[in-house]
A and B are shown apart, each in its own frame.
Chain A
Amino acid sequence: MILEQLPALIVVTPLILSLVVNVVGLWDKRLCFPIVAVTLFACLIWAIGILWRVIDHGTIHYCFGNWQPPWGIEYVIDHLNALVLVSVAVVSLLVAIYAKRAVDQEIPESKLPQFYTLFLLQVTGLFGITATGDMFNLYVLLEIASFSAYAIIAMGERGADFAAFRYLIFGTIGACAYLLGVGYLYILTGSLNMADLTQLLPKLFYSKALLVGFSFFLVGVGIKMGIFPLHTWLPDAYTLAPSTVSALLAPLYTKVGAYVIIRIIFTVFDPSFSIKLYPVMDILGWIAAIGIMFACIMALAQSDLKRMLCYVIVAEMGYILIGIASANRLGLTGAILHIVNDMFMMACLFTVAGAIFYQTGTRNIYQFRYLHRTMPVTLAVFVVGALSVVGVPPMCGFFSKWYLILGTIQAEKWVLLAVLLISSLIYAILFFRVIENAYLEPREAHASAHDSGHPAVTLDKVPWSMLVPMLLIAAGIILLGIFSGKIIMHIIQFAVPESL
Chain B
Amino acid sequence: MLFSVPPMYYLIVSALIFAIGAVGVLIRRNAIIIFMCIEMMLSAVNLSLITASHYLNSLDGVLMVFFVMTVAAAEAAVGLAIFVLLYRGRRTIKVDEINLLKW
**A binding-site residues for B, Cβ under 8 Å:** 136, 139-140, 143, 147, 150-151, 154, 158-159, 161-166, 168-169, 172-173, 175-176, 179-180, 182-183, 186-187, 190, 192, 232, 235-236, 298
Cβ A190 vs Cβ B38 within 8 A: no
Give Cα A176 to B18, complex, Å: 10
With both chains docked as a complex, state the minimum distance between the C-beta of B57 and any C-beta of chain A, in angstroms.
9
Give Cα A187 to B48, complex, Å: 8
**A158 cross-chain contacts in B, Cβ below 8 A:** 89
**A161 cross-chain contacts in B, Cβ below 8 A:** 82, 85-86, 89
With both chains docked as a complex, state the minimum distance between the C-beta of A102 and any C-beta of chain B, in angstroms.
21
Could you say which interface size class chain B belongs to?
A: 35 or more
Cβ A165 vs Cβ B49 within 8 A: no
Cβ B41 vs Cβ A232 within 8 A: no
Cβ A183 vs Cβ B45 within 8 A: yes
Residues 4-21 of B, flagged 1 when their CB comes within 8 A of A and 0 if not, give 000000010000001000
Which residue from chain B places its CB closest to the CB of A155 in the assembled complex?
B85
B101 at the interface (CB under 8 A from A): yes
Which residue from chain B places its CB closest to the CB of A177 in the assembled complex?
B41
**B68 cross-chain contacts in A, Cβ below 8 A:** 179
B23 at the interface (CB under 8 A from A): no
Cβ A166 vs Cβ B41 within 8 A: no
Cβ A186 vs Cβ B82 within 8 A: no
**A139 cross-chain contacts in B, Cβ below 8 A:** 71
**B102 cross-chain contacts in A, Cβ below 8 A:** 232
**B34 cross-chain contacts in A, Cβ below 8 A:** 169
With both chains docked as a complex, state the minimum distance between the C-beta of B96 and any C-beta of chain A, in angstroms.
12
Cβ A180 vs Cβ B45 within 8 A: yes
**A182 cross-chain contacts in B, Cβ below 8 A:** 64
**A187 cross-chain contacts in B, Cβ below 8 A:** 11, 48, 51-52, 55-56
Given known contacts A136-B67, A165-B83, what 19 new A-B pairs fall within 8 Å (CB)?
Answer: A136-B64, A140-B71, A147-B75, A150-B78, A151-B78, A151-B81, A161-B82, A165-B82, A165-B95, A166-B100, A168-B75, A169-B38, A172-B38, A173-B22, A180-B18, A182-B64, A190-B52, A190-B56, A235-B101
Give Cα A182 to B79, complex, Å: 24
Cβ B100 vs Cβ A186 within 8 A: no
Which residue from chain A places its CB closest to the CB of B79 in the assembled complex?
A168
Which residue from chain B places its CB closest to the CB of A160 in the assembled complex?
B85
**A147 cross-chain contacts in B, Cβ below 8 A:** 74-75, 78
Give Cα A154 to B34, complex, Å: 19
Cβ B85 vs Cβ A154 within 8 A: yes
Among A136, A187, A235, the most chain B Cβ lie within 10 Å of the Cβ of A187
Interface of B is mostly: helix
Cβ B75 vs Cβ A143 within 8 A: yes
Residues 76-95 of B, flagged 1 when their CB comes within 8 A of A and 0 if not, give 00110111011001000001
Cβ A164 vs Cβ B55 within 8 A: no
Which residue from chain B places its CB closest to the CB of A150 in the assembled complex?
B78
Among B41, B45, B95, B103, the most chain A Cβ lie within 10 Å of the Cβ of B45
With both chains docked as a complex, state the minimum distance between the C-beta of A317 and any C-beta of chain B, in angstroms.
16
Cβ B56 vs Cβ A180 within 8 A: no
Which residue from chain B places its CB closest to the CB of A153 in the assembled complex?
B82
Give Cα A187 to B11, complex, Å: 10
**B101 cross-chain contacts in A, Cβ below 8 A:** 235-236
Cβ A165 vs Cβ B67 within 8 A: no
Tell me whether A236 and B61 are in contact in the complex, defined as CB-CB below 8 angstroms, given that A147-B75, A168-B79, A183-B52 are known contacts: no
Give Cα A150 to B25, complex, Å: 18
Which residue from chain A places its CB closest to the CB of B87 in the assembled complex?
A161
| The residue from B44, B55, B79, B98 contacting A162, defined by CB atoms under 8 A apart | B98
Tell me whether A150 and B82 are in contact in the complex, defined as CB-CB below 8 angstroms, given that A173-B25, A179-B42, A183-B52 are known contacts: yes
Give Cα A168 to B42, complex, Å: 14
Cβ B58 vs Cβ A190 within 8 A: yes
| The residue from A136, A151, A165 contacting B31, defined by CB atoms under 8 A apart | A165
- 30 residue pairs of the A-B complex, CB under 8 angstroms, read A136-B64, A136-B67, A139-B71, A143-B71, A147-B78, A150-B82, A151-B78, A151-B81, A158-B89, A162-B100, A163-B100, A165-B86, A168-B78, A169-B38, A172-B38, A172-B79, A173-B38, A180-B18, A180-B45, A180-B48, A182-B64, A183-B48, A183-B52, A186-B61, A187-B11, A187-B48, A187-B52, A190-B58, A235-B101, A236-B101
Tell me whether A298 and B78 are in contact in the complex, defined as CB-CB below 8 angstroms, given that A140-B67, A173-B41, A192-B60 are known contacts: no
Tell me whether A176 and B41 are in contact in the complex, defined as CB-CB below 8 angstroms, given that A165-B83, A192-B60 are known contacts: yes
